[in-house]
Amino acid sequence: MRGVAILGSTGSIGCSTLAVLRRHPERFRLVALTGGANRSRLAEQVREWQPAYAALAADDENGTSCLLEAVRQPGVDIVVNAVVGFAGLEATLAALRAGKRVALANKESLVVAGELVERARLEGGGQLVPVDSEHSAILQCLAERPAAVSRIILTASGGPFREWPADRVVAATVDQALNHPTWRMGAKITVDSATLANKALEVIEGHFLFGVPYQSIEVVVHPQSVVHGLVEFEDGSVLAQVGFPSMELPILYALGYPERLPDAGVRRFDPVAAGALTFEPVRAEVFRAFPLGVAAGRAGGTAPAVFNAANEVAVARFLDGRLPFGRIAEVIEAVLGRHRIEPVRDLESVKAADRWARAAAEKEVG
Ligand code: NAD
Ligand code: MG
């Protein structure tokens, strides 16, 4: 019986995690829940699960102290970090330092402070297991043979504007951006999927998770979202992980890792129903956030944190109706262009870069 804390329980990944836990009461006990602002949904969850600890981040003066309290509850073995954005970082660090498993949906933690997350894991003896479907696929394909890997390939759905001409993409509306073809997710990651910033975040996430150099990480557009990730080994053999798009499988895998838990609730794959599977290159000249983010990852230091913060601000302003879709990548580019990259020494240096980039991005939005 393993104790679970869910940070961001009221969101898309949080609710999917609860759906998985409902089917495995003999394996997992829910100990703690935190939500952001959705009070009524959190109240419903508390009624159903009766956790030892529950809190709303909106009621929290520091924003993150309730996340840290949830992590520190007695009996928590696994922390599912399903918070969106930079706000999830400190909880990831605290859980790893305390020797817990982090089932990581909050990819932003790794993007903004990959080195610090790795240090916390080594010092605390914690375990970092991805929830992101592509990285779960890579982990499953690696099957404990990371030494013989020559390349990892992450798939991208391409988002709702995959086939749109560039002049239409720049003028896309909020409703159009939120209409993802294959996944139902929170608003921020859905916009990131439309700009392809999400795939840049995932390249950086993959670099830190698997210790693979950037030149060995590739992205391919695969509109059906059936093949989630591929690993090429040194002999040229390629393994892929396949399934209908659902986050419940990668969540289940992260909870049970390295075991596979039987679960009749996950929709079975049917190759004939899946139909034709197609692959195409990323249109990097149209979806500029993608090459900008990958370049920030390669530059290293505080650059990925600045990319992430500028993106978070630009996406929030786009969702507010204050920034056109086409300006998201321009804001990111302008902020990165003004940043002097520093090494990531400690949490304070990451927070400083994040603060600087947020202010610079707000100014750029005007
Ligand atoms: P969401 O917006 O649906 O949920 C986010 C959760 O975090 C909510 O419970 C919200 O209340 C809480 N939250 C928001 N801001 C907070 C703050 N400042 N402090 C504390 N809590 C806060 O988002 P989501 O789609 O569930 O995504 C969560 C994370 O998982 C993101 O990092 C996303 O990139 C990643 N992810 C999501 C999916 C998916 O299918 N939804 C897939 C892969 C990765
Ligand atoms: Mg993903």
| Token representation of residue 334 | 């302008």
Share of the chain above pLDDT 90, in %: 95
User: Is 147's pLDDT higher than 80?
Assistant: no
- Residue 345's CB is within 10 A of a number of other CB atoms, namely 12
**Strand pairing category for 149-156 and 227-233:** antiparallel
Q: CB–CB of 96/119 below 8 Å?
A: no
User: Is 145's pLDDT higher than 80?
Assistant: no
Q: CB–CB of 132/156 below 8 Å?
A: no
Q: CB–CB of 83/14 below 8 Å?
A: no
Q: Is the CB of 57 under 6 A from ligand 1?
A: yes
Residue whose structure tokens are 């520091």: 62
Judge residue 207's burial from the number of C-beta atoms within 10 Å of its C-beta, 0-12 exposed, 13-18 middle, 19 or more buried: buried
Q: Is the CB of 13 under 6 A from ligand 1?
A: yes
Distances (CA, A) of 205 to 105, 180, 272: 11, 22, 32
- Is the preceding omega at residue 160 within 30 degrees of 0, hence cis? no
Beta bridge partners of 32: 5, 53
Ligand nearest to the Cα of 192, by number: 1
Q: Is the CB of 36 under 6 A from ligand 1?
A: yes
**Alpha-carbon distance 315 to 329, whole Å?**
10
Ligand nearest to the Cα of 112, by number: 1
DSSP class of 275:
-
SS3 297: helix
Residue identifier of the C-alpha nearest atom 32 of ligand 1: 106
- Express each pLDDT in 42-76 by its tens digit: 999 999 999 999 999 988 888 789 999 999 999 99
| Token representation of residue 76 | 């928590």
Q: Is the CB of 251 under 6 A from ligand 1?
A: no
- Express each pLDDT in 163-173 by its tens digit: 999 999 999 99
Question: What is the average pLDDT across 78-87?
Answer: 98
Distance 275 CA to ligand 1 centre (A): 31
Does this chain's domain 2-130 share its CATH topology with 137-225+282-365?
Answer: no
Q: Is the CB of 311 under 6 A from ligand 1?
A: no
What was the pLDDT predicted at 183?
Answer: 87
Which residue among 189, 190, 251 has the greatest number of ligand 1 atoms within 8 angstroms of its CB, and so is best to mutate?
189
**Alpha-carbon distance 221 to 118, whole Å?**
29
What was the pLDDT predicted at 148?
Answer: 87
Q: CB–CB of 243/249 below 8 Å?
A: yes
Provide the mean pLDDT of the chain: 97
Contacts of 351 (CB under 8 A, 6+ apart): none
Residue identifier of the C-alpha nearest atom 10 of ligand 1: 36
What was the pLDDT predicted at 174?
Answer: 98
Ligand nearest to the Cα of 206, by number: 2
Domain boundaries, the chain: 2-130, 137-225+282-365
- Express each pLDDT in 223-267 by its tens digit: 999 999 999 999 999 999 999 999 999 999 999 999 999 999 999
Residue whose structure tokens are 């940043």: 339
Which residue among 13, 112, 192, 247 has the greatest number of ligand 1 atoms within 8 angstroms of its CB, and so is best to mutate?
13
Which of 139-143, 251-255, 295-299, 318-322 shows the lowest per-residue confidence on average (mean pLDDT)?
Answer: 139-143
Query: What is the CATH code for 137-225+282-365?
Result: 1.10.1740.10
SS3 323: coil
**Alpha-carbon distance 311 to 112, whole Å?**
12
Q: Is the CB of 180 under 6 A from ligand 1?
A: no
Q: Which CATH class is domain 2-130?
A: alpha beta
Judge residue 77's burial from the number of C-beta atoms within 10 Å of its C-beta, 0-12 exposed, 13-18 middle, 19 or more buried: middle
Which residue among 12, 252, 253, 354 has the greatest number of ligand 1 atoms within 8 angstroms of its CB, and so is best to mutate?
12
Q: Is the pTM of this model over 0.75?
A: yes
Distance 55 CA to ligand 1 centre (A): 16
**Alpha-carbon distance 85 to 73, whole Å?**
23
DSSP class of 314:
H
Residue identifier of the C-alpha nearest atom 13 of ligand 1: 36
What was the pLDDT predicted at 63?
Answer: 77
